[in-house]
């Protein structure tokens, strides 16, 4: 890496800053204000380090005029003298620290890393070759309420047990091995963080085990129609399951398509889709689109299945033969009434045709009602297929995706 001396801390500058921050015992670096005369005679003070840190924009020195009153007899004498006071620029302090870590770890910074601020702490976002950037937080003020994530502290008197992970600023830049270990740790934490990013489909809790298998078969069929293939060999779990610390016993299936992989993980009442490309966990726009469409498709199928199952369970005549007996009992009545009506012998039976019409209509209505309430839900459930029309739906969604991206 080609870095100038102004881009990173030297070993002696790190020692100087460490002693300076320890000497100040300050809870807020923004309020640090040290009289330069008070530290010039200390063992750790070095004029050259002070100069270099000023050139880097880390340390600011300003002269403050101080008035002092003396009395000589009845005369009041006021004298003014100037004192140099030292302060620290927090943002530059952190920026050079970031540069130093990457320099000592021999890592190239792909782009300028901006120092961001939130409440009482600064933070940066480091690209870890995943969908997620790893956030590293810097404590320059003791009043920090955040308790999650990775924290780098420039304040010594911080209660470490208040934070999920706390590292003192000088540890990662103590030497090359420490810097390399820190960068690797950040990347690993980024991979673990990316495990929280996935697409998922909720599994209906009311489905029985056999019905749930049908539900899952839609997902399998859908992915296969997209060109993915599955294998029961554990070698397809790796190296992603190792790199991203995903327990292999959680992985139900692995689907592969070229350099792309999808891990199917069943987690309580949902099915998770963890997507990888060339060994890195990244969401592909196409598969994200299709998982959304897949979710819509299975929801529609569950609604149809559940609706007919409910109708069947509410049917007062649950046995097919019993329903058929009801229908058969009305058929002779309908035929007899029609024969009387259309052979013009109605007068010998009854004086008005409307009663016969009413009788026929009610009988037909009863037959239709029995069919809709009793037979139709059973017929629909009997011929219901979870995988029907999945192939045609995938083709339709593929066309929709192409139209969206070509617009």
Cβ pair 139, 154 in contact under 8 A: yes
Whose structure tokens read 């002070």? 50
Own/partner contacts of 156-159, CB < 8 Å, gap of 24 or more, are: 156/21, 156/22, 156/25, 157/25, 157/27
Whose structure tokens read 């993980």? 265
Report the SS3 class of residue 204.
coil
Identify the pLDDT of residue 319. 52
On the question of pLDDT at 151 being above 80, the answer is: yes
Percent of the chain residues topping a pLDDT of 70: 73
Identify the pLDDT of residue 121. 76
Whose structure tokens read 């130093």? 100
How far from each other are the two terminal CA atoms of the chain, in whole angstroms? 43
| 122-136, 213-227, 254-268, 270-284: least confidently modelled range | 122-136
Cβ pair 262, 271 in contact under 8 A: no
Other CB atoms within 10 A of residue 384 CB: 14
Cα Rg of the chain, angstroms: 39
Percent of the chain residues topping a pLDDT of 90: 34
Identify the pLDDT of residue 328. 54
Predicted confidence band of residue 290 (pLDDT cuts 50, 70, 90): very high
Q: Where are the domains of the chain?
A: 11-89, 93-194, 199-309, 313-383
HSE (side-chain half, CA atoms, 13 Å) at 102: 18
The predicted-structure confidence for 333-364, as pLDDT tens digits, reads as follows: 655 555 555 555 555 445 555 555 665 666 66
On the question of pLDDT at 56 being above 80, the answer is: yes
Euclidean distance between CA atoms 123 and 138, whole angstroms? 6
Cβ pair 109, 124 in contact under 8 A: no
Q: Where are the beta strands (DSSP E) in 112-168?
A: 116-118, 121-127, 133-139, 150-153, 165-168
Q: Please report how the helices 47-55 and 11-24 are oriented relative to each other, as an axis angle in degrees rounded to 10.
A: 90
Cβ pair 241, 192 in contact under 8 A: no
| 22-26, 103-107, 280-284, 354-358: least confidently modelled range | 354-358
Cβ pair 24, 113 in contact under 8 A: no
Predicted confidence band of residue 74 (pLDDT cuts 50, 70, 90): low
On the question of pLDDT at 36 being above 50, the answer is: yes
Query: Phi and psi dihedrals of 257, rounded to 5?
Result: -150, 100
Percent helix, strand, coil in the chain (nearest 5)? 50, 20, 30
Give the burial class of 179: count Cβ atoms within 10 A of its Cβ; 0-12 exposed, 13-18 middle, 19 or more buried: buried
In this prediction, residues 248-266 reach a mean pLDDT of: 91
DSSP 86-127: EEE-HHHHHHHHHHHHHHHTT---SS----EEETTEEEEEEE
Euclidean distance between CA atoms 288 and 257, whole angstroms? 15
| 66-70, 235-239, 278-282, 319-323: least confidently modelled range | 319-323
Other CB atoms within 10 A of residue 273 CB: 21
HSE (side-chain half, CA atoms, 13 Å) at 277: 9
Cβ pair 291, 262 in contact under 8 A: no
The predicted-structure confidence for 77-96, as pLDDT tens digits, reads as follows: 766 678 899 999 999 999 99
On the question of pLDDT at 278 being above 80, the answer is: yes
In this prediction, residues 45-68 reach a mean pLDDT of: 89
The predicted-structure confidence for 169-181, as pLDDT tens digits, reads as follows: 999 999 999 999 9
Give the burial class of 271: count Cβ atoms within 10 A of its Cβ; 0-12 exposed, 13-18 middle, 19 or more buried: buried
Identify the pLDDT of residue 42. 94
In this prediction, residues 367-390 reach a mean pLDDT of: 66
């Amino acid at each position: 890496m080609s870095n100038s001396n102004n881009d990173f801390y030297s070993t002696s500058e790190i020692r100087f800053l460490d002693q300076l921050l320890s000497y100040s015992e300050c809870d807020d670096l923004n309020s640090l204000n040290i009289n330069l005369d008070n530290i010039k005679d200390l063992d750790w003070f070095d004029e050259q380090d002070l100069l270099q840190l000023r050139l880097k924009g880390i340390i600011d020195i300003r002269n403050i005029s101080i008035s002092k009153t003396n009395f000589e007899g009845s005369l009041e004498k006021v004298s003014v003298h100037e004192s140099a006071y030292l302060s620290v620029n927090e943002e530059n302090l952190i920026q050079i620290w970031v540069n130093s870590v990457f320099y000592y770890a021999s890592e190239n910074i792909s782009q300028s890393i901006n120092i961001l601020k939130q409440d009482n702490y600064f933070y940066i976002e480091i690209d870890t070759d995943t969908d997620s950037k790893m956030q590293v937080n810097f404590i320059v003020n003791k009043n920090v309420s955040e308790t999650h994530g990775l924290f780098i502290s420039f304040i010594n008197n911080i209660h470490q047990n208040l934070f999920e992970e706390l590292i003192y600023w000088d540890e990662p830049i103590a030497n090359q091995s420490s810097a390399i270990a820190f960068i690797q740790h950040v990347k690993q934490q980024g991979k673990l963080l990316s495990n929280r990013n996935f697409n998922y489909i909720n599994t209906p809790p009311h489905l029985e085990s056999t019905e749930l298998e049908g539900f899952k078969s839609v997902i399998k069929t859908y992915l296969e129609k997209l060109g993915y293939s599955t294998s029961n060999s554990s070698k397809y779990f790796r190296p992603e399951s190792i790199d991203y610390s995903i327990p292999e016993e959680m992985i139900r299936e692995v689907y592969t398509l070229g350099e792309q992989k999808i891990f199917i993980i069943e987690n309580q009442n949902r099915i998770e889709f963890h997507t990888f490309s060339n060994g890195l966990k990244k969401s592909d726009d196409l598969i994200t689109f299709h998982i959304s469409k897949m979710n819509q498709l299975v929801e529609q199928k569950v609604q149809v299945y559940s609706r007919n199952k409910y109708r069947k369970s509410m049917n007062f005549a649950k046995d097919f033969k019993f329903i058929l007996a009801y229908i058969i009992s009305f058929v002779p009545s309908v035929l007899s009434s029609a024969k009387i009506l259309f052979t013009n012998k109605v007068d010998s039976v009854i004086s008005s045709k409307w009663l016969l019409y009413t009788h026929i209509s009610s009988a037909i209505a009863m037959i239709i009602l029995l069919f809709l309430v009793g037979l139709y839900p059973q017929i629909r459930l009997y011929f219901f297929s979870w995988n029907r029309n999945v192939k045609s739906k995938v083709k339709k969604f593929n066309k929709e995706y192409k139209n969206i991206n070509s617009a």
